[in-house]
Amino acid sequence: MSAARQRPYRRMMSTAVALAGATVLVAGCTSNEPEPSASGGDGGGNAAASSNDETGETVRIGFSAPAADHGWMAGISEAAQDAAGEYEDIDLIIAEGTNDVSTQISQVETFINEGVDAIVLLPFDGAAMTPVALQAMEAGIPVINVDREFSSPFAARATILGDNYGMGVSAGTYICEQVGDNPDAVVAEIAGIDSLPLTQDRSQGFADALADCGLDVDNRVAADFTVEGGEEAAANLLQAAPQIDALWNHDDDQGVGVLAAIANAGRDEFVMVGGAGSANAMREIQSGDSVLQATVIYPHTQAADGIRLARLIAQGKSMSDLVSPEVPREIVLNAPVVTSENVEDYIDRAFES
């Protein structure tokens, strides 16, 4: 294999190592779970994981996110509230979820006027929310940007992101493992909304990983992250492609519709990979009798991590496993593949579609 052909795997491996480290930092360094006692007994059960978890000065955190109109976004808000509930020193102020940019801007302006200690913001539109995030930062209120990036690096104290490109790499790598020994394997893709950068990043990562085992995408359609859109897109794809060996669907919410279309068409000749990591997708994987054999995690815990980081920043703390005395400016979470072999490790924290 040529050096050029090896690059996607090398990039994937280095990215996976780096991102796995970032995930450990967020999950471990800010964890509210006590560490096991060094002696192996139960005497250390009441010890905090680190001094970071000891109750400190109460901080008021404003939280705003888009409307919970599908499972992943509902999971985002629920996980954020659960994270805040773990700490006695967090006073979480939750704005009603909205897909109206003007309304979300007003919510952040209210947080500024109320003088909250930090703001965790998953913007409906990152560019449109950048000016008001800058206002908050200029007012001395740290903003933690979640999932959809602002257009200015000065608009956030810290940014937490899922890895869209890494999702595609993970999905493509898994499919290479399943059908890569067949140079004529037919690979299909059901994307999300094509105009979104996140969809473009996922597709690019997928194509790059497939290229490493000599495959490419033979049939591709785009949906809209909804059940109805997924079913319609999948029906069109299945009609156009009488034979498929592997299929990647970008989103498990729209995957509900995709699986319905597959059942209606009576197709089962291919292996399917999902995206995002919903509980219903994992139950399909557990069943052992579904075309859905794997799903790639896009963490719905990003805002929960944002709440924990907001607390640390507002209290002037760092992440305990880092030598550096401050919270990092950016954290990119990992995009692991969930299969029947490891689904038990993930399903209890999965969101419902």
Whether residue 306 sits in one domain with residue 158: yes
220 and 280 housed in the same domain: yes
Domain co-membership, 67 together with 145: yes
Domain-embedded: residue 15: no
* pLDDT tens readout for residues 285-339: 999 999 999 999 999 999 999 999 999 999 999 998 888 889 999 999 999 999 9
Q: Are residues 112 and 197 in the same domain?
A: no
Q: Are residues 178 and 284 both part of a single domain?
A: yes
pLDDT score of 29 more than 60: no
Q: What is the mean pLDDT of the chain?
A: 88
Is it the case that residue 256 has pLDDT exceeding 80?
yes
What CATH code is carried by the domain that includes residue 236? 3.40.50.2300
45-79 confidence digits (pLDDT tens): 333 456 888 999 999 999 999 999 889 999 999 99
Domain that holds residue 194: 164-297
Cα dihedral value 232, 235, 240, 244, nearest 10: 130
- Judge whether 109 lies within some domain: yes
Looking at the fold, whether 177 and 292 belong to one and the same domain comes out as yes
Measured CA to CA, the distance from residue 340 to residue 286 in angstroms comes to 6
Same domain, 213 and 280: yes
Q: Are residues 292 and 168 in the same domain?
A: yes
Q: Are residues 132 and 77 in the same domain?
A: yes
Query: Could you give the C-alpha distances from 44 to 31, 34, 35, 37, 38, in angstroms and in order?
Result: 16, 8, 8, 5, 8
Same domain, 280 and 233: yes
Our count of domains for the chain comes to 2
- 199 and 76, same structural domain? no
Note whether 69 and 151 are same-domain residues: yes
Instruction: For the sheet with 217-222, list strands across it.
Output: 217-222, 187-191, 246-249, 271-276, 292-297, 337-338
Stated pTM of the model: 0.83
Whether residue 184 lies inside any domain: the answer is: yes
